[in-house]
Amino acid sequence: MSDLKYFPMVSVIIPTLNSEKELSLCLKSLKNQSYDNIEIIIADGYSTDRTVDIGVQYGAKIYQKKCSFTQRRNYGATKANGDIYYHMDSDMILPKNLIKTAVKKINTGYDGVIIPQRFAGKGFFGKCKELEIISSTDSPALKICRFMKKKVFFKINGYDEQLEAGEDWDITQRIENKYNLGKIHTYIIHGWGSYNISKWIRKCYKYGKSIYRYKKKHPTLTKYQWGPARLISFNWRLLLKYPHYALGILFIKNLEFISGLLGSLNSRRV
Among 204, 15, 20, 4, CA closest to 104? 4
The mean pLDDT value for 105-113 works out to 96
Please tell me the distance from the alpha carbon of residue 37 to that of residue 121, in angstroms, as a whole number. Answer: 32
Eight-class DSSP state of 260: H
| Topology of domain 10-269, CATH | Spore Coat Polysaccharide Biosynthesis Protein SpsA; Chain A (3.90.550)
Q: What is the per-residue pLDDT across 215-255, written as a single tens digit (0 to 9) for each?
A: 888 888 888 887 788 888 899 999 999 999 999 999 999 99
The mean pLDDT value for 3-12 works out to 85
Q: What is the per-residue pLDDT across 81-98, written as a single tens digit (0 to 9) for each?
A: 999 999 999 999 999 999
pLDDT at 93: 98
Q: What is the per-residue pLDDT across 183-207, written as a single tens digit (0 to 9) for each?
A: 999 999 999 888 888 888 888 888 8
Please tell me the distance from the alpha carbon of residue 144 to that of residue 72, in angstroms, as a whole number. Answer: 18
The phi, psi pair for 4, rounded to 5°, reads -95, 145
Among 153, 79, 66, CA closest to 113? 153
Q: How confident is the model at residue 270 (pLDDT cuts 50, 70, 90)?
A: very low
The mean pLDDT value for 138-158 works out to 95
Please tell me the distance from the alpha carbon of residue 2 to that of residue 5, in angstroms, as a whole number. Answer: 8
